[in-house]
Amino acid sequence: MAAETRDSTGTAAGEHWAPGDHILWRYRGNARPRSARSIHICRPVTVVQDTRELLAVWMAPGTDCVKPLLADGTPVHREPLATRYTKPRTTEVTRWFGPGVLKLARPGEPWSVWLFWDLDWRFRNWYVNLEEPLVRWAGGVDSEDHFLDIAVYPDRSWEWKDEDEFAQAQQAGLMTAAQAEDVRAAGRAAVELIERWGAPFTDGWESWRPDPAWTVPALPDDWDRTPARIGA
């Protein structure tokens, strides 16, 4: 894992991570009350490309990841929406058994774009994950999820996803009306990008394949080390 201390713009003395480097892609918890650990999602990934214009990373099948779990052991997605964001939480380590995921993020942009394939490498869809712009630190990148997302399909159609969770997050007091409008504005900007079919949708990433020599990154014991400040 890269050891340099990097600022929130993503460079250390103009340097970037090299293809094949292992870093962590993390999200800060956004439920109430906060869990003891501020980071509730951590995914070890392999750097595909890292430039001033784009960070691309690969999450391989078989990767050990950290995900949130209700303190009583209930998986988050199985908890009724009305109480999903207010019950105490913890985290657990689970293995990613599905197809790998390619994640693309441009500096300062309030979303990242994920690419999904079937096991036979048939391209399935893009997924626009609305979130805080990534903040970089020595071991990877941190963000905070904004609940609302957009699925984009090979025929260039798209649809909003998780609007119910976005509404519930507001009702539970996880974001103010002004913050929610900022997220909606980011979503509208993403939709404009989709409808004019700009980068990264036009860049051919759906034909990309990982280097077969790459190993699956390990989840370090200190995966929840103090994160960079989100939204600074």
- Each of the 232 residues of the chain gets a pLDDT tens digit; together they read 343 334 333 444 358 999 999 999 999 988 665 544 489 999 999 999 999 999 999 999 999 999 999 999 999 999 999 999 999 999 999 999 889 999 999 999 999 999 999 999 999 999 999 999 999 999 999 999 999 999 999 999 999 999 999 999 999 999 999 999 999 999 999 999 999 999 999 999 999 999 999 999 999 999 998 765 544 3
Angle between helices 163-171 and 177-195 (to 10 degrees): 160
Read off the tokens for 79.
Answer: 């908890």
Return the pLDDT at 229.
Answer: 54
User: Rounded to the nearest 5°, which phi and psi values hold at 125?
Assistant: -175, 165
Give the closest residue to 104 by CA, choosing from 213, 5, 205, 210: 205
What is the SS3 string spanning 66-91?
Answer: EEEEECCCCEHHHCCHHHCCCCCEEE
pTM comes to 0.90
Structural domains of the chain, ranges and CATH numbers in brackets? 22-196 (2.40.380.10)
Return the pLDDT at 68.
Answer: 94
Return the pLDDT at 30.
Answer: 80
Before 200, cis peptide (omega within 30)? yes
Return the pLDDT at 98.
Answer: 87
Please report, as a single letter, which amino acid is at residue 122: R
Distance CA 210, CA 191 (A): 28
- The secondary structure of 184-214 as a DSSP string is HHHHHHHHHHHHTT-TTTTTTGGG----TTP
Distance CA 119, CA 51 (A): 29
What number of residues does the chain have?
Answer: 232
